[in-house]
Structure formats: structure tokens, C-alpha cells
Amino acid sequence: MSTPRPSTPPLGVADALSREATEHWLREDDEARLEALWAAADETRRRYVGDAVHLRGLVEVSNYCVRGCTYCGIRAANHGVERYRLPADVVLDCARRAVAFGYGTLVLQSGEDYGIERDWMADVLCRIRSETSISAITLSLGERPDDDLFAWREAGADRYLLRFETCDEELYRRIHPDLPGKVSDRMAILRRLQALGYQAGTGIMVGIPGQTYASIADDIELFRGMDMDMIGIGPYLPHPATPLGQEFERRRAAGDWPLEQAPNSESMTCKVVALTRLARPDANLPATTALSLVNKAGGRAHGLQRGGNVVMPNLTPLEERERYEIYPEKAAVHETAEAINGSIMALLASLGRTVGVGAGGRGDSR
């Protein structure tokens, strides 16, 4: 798909690479040359956010979703999904476990589920605040109205994650259909979140069918100008029960890719993480679960060695976790929270990295 280049632009620590140089590096496939990119990203990470890896305990609160995202396994039209919504007491138990494991942040994620009512979530947030000593709470509940976002901020939420997925408008509209009468404008929601005092996070998927090298270079330029606290970057993973997953499989079988298609590989994802680290030296960049799936042996380690400084261990109870299948084989679906925690701690020790203490917001590491 990509063509090897005769030479790659030089790199320095916290290099302000031009957009052209960024795109050049995205196309670089020579492993020996890529070592220079990995090293520059790792050194920038070390210099700006240190060796601490911040752990964010992830709780998948509900897999109900009103949306029809063509990439996502829990889209409304997937009737093969057994739906669940965790009771408040279970969410509270997960929060206590996060504290017991020493995680600074609890992340509450769900489909865009209006069965999660404003007051219910506000009450859960107040309870987490009063009944546990968690340092920070992040929400990732989709494109909720301002009144909800305001109430949850008041109730104790600190951060909100909303990936814009791709800056290619046409591609975004195709994979993320609007709800009736409501145009999806995630950039506008991100600005509102910041105005409400949230630390905002965004991100993209890498290798969406139809996504080009040039458009990913544009995504990285957007990150450069956005002042986000967290940027999540993971490979697009085709889910067979989704329209995009089926398109991916048809194209894969026929070798029929759009011109300039960016691959959804581990290496491509790592290039995007590394270049994002150079563009936003002090941002929090997770080594994503999706990345750990495309290379089960080394994906998470590579994420942490090529720019990443955050991991999100899953705390969702096992029975529900296997029903939150946004992509197939979500990592560690059958592993208990203890087992996941143990393997992450062992990984950090083997990489010579420490566990972050406290909230681990942007700027807290220095």
C-alpha cells in the first residue's frame, strides 16, 4: 500500500515537524529508519511527561447505544448484542477496586445511551466522590446535550473523552451517521467541554477503509492545534457484524483498497502515536487496548515505548465485559481485573517505567 521513500526528514526531540514531514514519516516502512522515530518519540515522552505511566480504570457502564456508527460492534442495529446497563452499586464497586489497585482515574464509558439519565449519572458521580478516594473521574458517554455535560461536571466529573475519529468530513459522515435532526459536530462538543471546565480528550482510529495517509497527517496537524489533555489513537479493528467490517472483509478478500489507503497495522498506529507525541509533547497518550490486540505479544509495550504514557486497565465485571464488544476479541475479555492489573504491573517493571500517582492530568507529571 505504501511506497518506500529514499530518505526521511530528520528528527529531534519535540520536533516541530512540518505537515509534509509528518506525512513522509507516515509512509516510512523501513524498520531501521523507523527506529529514529520511535527513539525521538520516546525521548520526547520521557522529557515532557516522565517515566510514570498513569493507569485509568475503565468501567463500561452500558452497551446500549442509539447510534449507527458503521464501525462499532455495539451500534443500535446490531441485534445480536445482549444489552446491559450496570447498576449504580456495581459502578461504585468498580470505583473501589480502582482505588484498591492504586489507579488515579476512573473512566466511565458507554454507548450513547439515553437510558443513562442525567440525574442518575450525577448521583453516581456524587457517590464516587463521597464514598471513594479516586483522584479523577473521566466520562466517555458520547454526544450528550450541554445540560447533561454541565450537570456531570458539577457532580464531580473532571474529564471527558470524545474522539473525532477522522478529520475527513466525508468519511466521518459515512461511518458516523447523524441522528435524525441532529448533526454530529464533535469539534464543537469538545470546545464546549473545555468551556465547562472539563479536561478534554479526543482521538482517531487508524486504517479506517477510505482513510488516507494525507488525512492522517491532517489529523496530527489538528491535534497540534487543539490543546487536548488526552489523545487516544488505536487501529480500526473490523467487526464482522458491522457494515464497515463487512466492507473491510470484501476489500481484503479482493485486494481492492482505495488509492492511498492507510493500513490498520500496529506499525501504522505506532507511527501516528509517535508523531502525535512530537506534535503534542505534554499530552497524555494511551497505549490503547486496540493496539494491544493487533500485536498481542508486544503491542502495549510498543505503545508505551513509542510515545505512550497511559494504560486503561479494564474493571468491567467479566459477564458484561464480553458484551461490550466494540471490536472482536477485545483484549483480555476473560481475564479478571486482578490478572489484568498483574500483567500491566509486570510490563511496566520490565520496561523500567513507574506507576503514576494521583490524578495524572496533563502537567501533573512534571
Binding site residues, ligand SAM, CB under 6 A: 71-72, 109, 111-112, 140, 142, 162-163, 165, 205, 234, 236-237, 239, 290, 326-327
As to burial, measured by CB atoms within 10 angstroms (0-12 exposed, 13-18 middle, 19+ buried), residue 172 is middle
Residue 186: count of CB within 10 angstroms of its CB = 16
Write down the residue that cell numbers 478534554 correspond to.
200
CB of 283 to ligand SAM, least distance (A): 17
**Cβ neighbours around 336 below 10 Å, total:** 12
Min. distance of Cβ 235 from ligand SAM in angstroms?
7
Least distance in Å: CB of 307 to ligand SAM? 18
CB-based contact 326:92 (threshold 8 Å):
no
Residue 314 β-bridge partners: 58
Least distance CB 140 / ligand SAM (angstroms): 5
Least distance in angstroms from the C-beta of 248 to ligand SAM = 9
Question: Using alpha carbons only, what angle is made at residue 362 by residues 12 and 324, rounded to the nearest 5 degrees?
Answer: 105
**47 versus 191: smaller Cβ distance to ligand SAM:** 191
Distance (Å) of CA 246 to CA 250, 262, 268, 322: 6, 18, 22, 21
Q: Tell me whether residue 17 or residue 69 sits nearer to ligand SAM (CB atom).
A: 69
Q: Which is nearer to ligand SAM, 57 or 234 (CB)?
A: 234
Say if residues 61 and 70 touch (Cβ distance below 8 Å).
no
Instruction: Closer to ligand SAM by CB, 40 or 312: give it.
Output: 312
Nearer to ligand SAM, 132 or 166 (CB): 166
Q: How far is the CB of 346 from ligand SAM (least distance, A)?
A: 26
**Nearer residue to ligand SAM within complex by CB, 59 or 348:** 59
Residues 152, 197: Cα–Cα separation, whole Å:
11
